[in-house]
Amino acid sequence: MKFETLAIIGVGLIGGSIGLAAKRRGVANRVIGAGRQRSTLDRAQALGAIDEGTLDHVEAAAQADLAVYCTPVDHIAGQILSAAPRCRPGSILTDAGSTKLAIVRAIEGRLPDGISFVGGHPLAGSEKRGSEYAHPDLFQGRVTVVTQTPATERAALERVAGFWRALGAKVRVMDPEEHDRSLAVTSHLPHLIAAALAGALSPELFELTAGGFRDTTRIAAGDPALWTGIFAQNGAAVLDALHAFTGRLAEFQKALEGGDLHALDRFLAQAKKVRDALGS
Amino acid sequence: MKFETLAIIGVGLIGGSIGLAAKRRGVANRVIGAGRQRSTLDRAQALGAIDEGTLDHVEAAAQADLAVYCTPVDHIAGQILSAAPRCRPGSILTDAGSTKLAIVRAIEGRLPDGISFVGGHPLAGSEKRGSEYAHPDLFQGRVTVVTQTPATERAALERVAGFWRALGAKVRVMDPEEHDRSLAVTSHLPHLIAAALAGALSPELFELTAGGFRDTTRIAAGDPALWTGIFAQNGAAVLDALHAFTGRLAEFQKALEGGDLHALDRFLAQAKKVRDALGS
């Protein structure tokens, strides 16, 4: 899998890691980064994540045979639709956004002939931001979801899947709805919970926290604007996941109020079984 | 701060770390470990956490000038009450349990003359179990709560506080109710939440989890029986903390249902502020 020119729109933790991995693994001859601040681009270039940087994301995509959008989920579709008319025939556009349905729906059927879009989402990253946290092995052995709908072009899907495999990722193809429903449970709900827990902590209790509280709330340090966009785009699935979660809390509450120690133990034992199966 | 003979009842992660720290820092001339399995004692002795081991916890306490109970919270008071009549005058008994009110109430007023009890709780540890995870610096710079009630003997409190300081801990003295109310928020509720989140994950979603889910649910791997005991002893405070937490979830839900992005952003930004202040 080889691309002549790879454009990365948004060179933060994910975009920077894509650049480092693509260059390290010889997946692209040339990597152009696009961003809104020259300092960000200079840092990414100094780190070796991109060969050159531009403040004009349309210009970057226009030069590329593959453009990967690593910008906030509420910017991706707009950026792609504005760049597509300038792209060369045969160009493929993809993204790394944490939601898929809203993005895919906004783009499908609105691209010029010869330009393809395939949605993507690498399940990697952290609460950290910026290319200074980028790593060429960030995707190694991790799942990247690539979306498929009836409108998805088979050849473009294969190219995008091959791109992620070349970066070390395990590719899972699924439809955007399934992605969003799944990620509501595995990512968006945990973020909401971590935020609800962290936000309620009064300062006098800070020193009475230990590793458990810190682990459980770590992702609440993520960027609020990014996450507001994710919640807004996946609201219905998040509300469903939240409903199921509060149902489980109510189940525990009932056992605790009733002094049903066997039920508490079963609840905790079942959770431990799942968590142990998940690995560290 | 120096003790002739230190008894550690329960030589797992916490008990083993106390032994390692006490020996490394010269806090005790001799450390006796008590446990229910010879293999556990042999391992702790091989690791250098104890000098000798016994299956008879009363015998261990009878030889000690300080005995520290690192057993499950629902065993501590019973073990202390059964050992106290055999202890030497001037002996001090303390514990490392995650709850304090039930334990302190069960013991106070029921000890022979000359035997003192002071409740304790080092805010350290993890979801791991066993002395193989013990570390001599586990308590370094971490808070240990030492409890004080109107019945607490001042001299014994000072000795126990001095013991923990000698192991590297920062000591906070508080009454058992305040401890339990605080830890319901900083430790017991997070455990419940992690368990509710982990337990609901269906196997087909395992591969769609990333670092966020793993961090948020890590403590759910803790021992179910230990935690059932903790929840049972601190039920009222946990239910209060749960009520406040579900109130915050409802607040988020309302904002999400209403499409109020500013409210979502405020919610997440406030959580980030707290989490950032807490440090890694």
Phi, psi (deg, nearest 5) at residue B221: -80, -5
Q: What is the mean pLDDT of residues A248-268?
A: 98
State whether residue B269 sits within 8 Å of chain A by CB.
Answer: yes
Instruction: Looking at the complex, report in whole angstroms how far the Cα of residue A67 sits from the nearest Cα belonging to chain B.
Output: 24
Residue in B183, B186, B198 closest to A274 by CB: B198
Computed over every residue of chain B, the mean pLDDT equals 97
Cβ of residue B214 closer than 8 Å to a chain A Cβ: yes
- CB contact A227 to B (< 8 Å): yes
B194·A214 Cβ contact <8 A: no
Minimal Cβ distance to A195: which of B195, B228, B271? B271
Is the Cβ pair B186, A194 closer than 8 Å? no
The answer to whether residue A279 scores a pLDDT higher than 90 is no
- Model pLDDT, residue B280: 78
For the stretch B31-73, pLDDT in tens is 999 999 999 999 999 999 999 999 999 999 999 999 999 999 9
Cβ distance B256 to A238 less than 8 Å, yes or no, reads yes
Which of B187, B213, B224 lies nearest to residue A269, judging by beta carbons? B224
pLDDT exceeds cutoff 80 at B1:
no
pTM for the model stands at 0.94
Q: How confident is the model at residue B206 (pLDDT cuts 50, 70, 90)?
A: very high
Is residue B28 within a helix (H) or strand (E), and if so which, with residue range? Answer: strand B28-34
What per-residue confidence (pLDDT) applies to A68?
Answer: 98
What pLDDT score does A125 carry? 77
- Model confidence band, residue A126 (pLDDT cutoffs 50, 70, 90): confident
Q: Which chain B residues are Cβ-neighbours of A192 within 8 angstroms? A: 249, 252
pLDDT tens, B224-256?
A: 999 999 999 999 999 999 999 999 999 999 999
pLDDT value at residue A254: 98
Give residue-wise pLDDT tens across range B142-185: 999 999 999 999 999 999 999 999 999 999 999 999 999 999 99
Which residue among A145, A212, A268 sits closest to B187, beta carbon to beta carbon? A212
Closest to A135 in 3D by CA, of A218, A28, A18 = A18
The beta-carbon neighbor of A271 closest among B199, B203, B271 is B199
Q: How far is A158 from chain B (nearest CA, A)?
A: 21
Could you give phi then psi for residue B169, rounded to 5 degrees? Answer: -80, 155
User: B227 to chain A, minimum CA–CA distance in Å?
Assistant: 8
**Do residues B173 and B161 touch, judged by C-beta distance below 8 A?**
yes
Nearest CA in chain A to B247: A196
